[in-house]
Amino acid sequence: METAGRIYGENARIDSESVKTFWNNNAKKDSSLKSVLLGYDFGENSADLHNRKEARIVLDFTGGGKKTVLDIGCGIGRWAYNLEPIIKAYDGIDFSEEFIKTAGAYFRDRDDIRFYCMPATDIDTTKLRETYDIVIATEVSMYINDEDLHKLYGYMDGLTGAGSLLYIQDTTSLLKTRLTLKDFDSKELKTKYNAIYRTRAEYETLFGRFLPGFTVTENGTDLLLDKNSGARDETNARYWCFRKT
């Protein structure tokens, strides 16, 4: 069923170039947390509330000690900030040239923090470390079509070793079926927007198929947002914490 750019239940495709154009344009307009976490209609502090809560979750999950970190879909480099106490070395990648420019400027004096412009489904592994202690991918899968998700998860598997940690967070559908926004005319964003909000069950089926070596840890999975930080009636961000066996 489709209503003004909202498609319920169908496995509709979104245009990857339109997604990239949206994020590049957004990065040009705003270099704050809201440029990557959105939620412009949830109040001035919504992005900060979201980020602080998520940072606590991930720091608790990753524990102490210095770690090598790969951040897929790094945006302005918020995880380089959030994880600074435990970073041994950090690599951030994003398909938005504008976000990479911003992140690189913020951290230009840090030799242990590097940024690369590359898409999550076509990662140039020759530029990266062989494996990482922690791989993070927040709000990435929702912008990738079904037939390409196995590429992203394949990179996650290939760039980790036994004991590596994986944190995935994506906005998911709270309905019984997925919701796709296809060229949706967003009043909040003042532009057309594309995203795929899969259900929890859909994601966990994909994880079982493409990430079979990873097990959900005691930190588990849960919904992330409340009404002050971005929860909506039909969607909410959900996170999963994994360890590779």
pLDDT tens-digit map of 101-119: 999 999 999 999 999 999 9
- The number of beta carbons lying within 10 Å of the beta carbon of residue 178 is 20
| Mean pLDDT in residue range 36-62 | 92
* 195 in Cβ contact with 173 (< 8 Å): no
Q: Is 90 exceeded by the pLDDT of residue 236?
A: yes
- Give the pLDDT of residue 2: 64
Q: What is the pLDDT of residue 96?
A: 97
- Within a domain: 163: yes
Structure confidence at residue 41 (pLDDT): 80
| 167 is a domain residue | yes
What pLDDT score was predicted for residue 64? 86
Average pLDDT along the chain: 95
Q: Specify the residue for token string 């991918």.
A: 137
pLDDT value for 3 = 74
d(CA 145, CA 29): 26
CA pair distance 158, 116, nearest whole angstrom: 18
In a domain, 28, yes or no: no
- Cα 107 vs. chain centroid, distance in angstroms? 20
- What confidence score (pLDDT) does residue 50 get? 96
Q: Which residue has the higher pLDDT, 42 or 109?
A: 109
Domain span at residue 172?
38-177+197-244
Q: Which two tokens stand for residue 71?
A: 């951040």
C-alpha 67/C-alpha 84 separation (Å) is: 10
| 30 pLDDT above the threshold of 70 | yes
The pLDDT of residue 42 is above 90:
no
Output phi, psi for 150, to 5 deg: -60, -25
Q: Is 121 domain-assigned?
A: yes
Q: Is residue 71 part of a domain?
A: yes
Q: Residue 118: inside a domain, yes or no?
A: yes
The answer to whether position 183 is within a domain reads no
For residue 124, what pLDDT is reported? 98
* Number of domains comprising the chain: 1
Task: Give 1's pLDDT tier (boundaries 50, 70, 90).
Answer: low
Q: Classify residue 30: in a domain, yes or no.
A: no
Q: Which residues pair with 216 in a beta bridge?
A: 242
> 179 falls in which pLDDT band (50, 70, 90)?
very high
Mean pLDDT, range 72-91, rounded to an integer: 97
- Report the CATH number that the domain containing residue 51 is assigned in CATH: 3.40.50.150
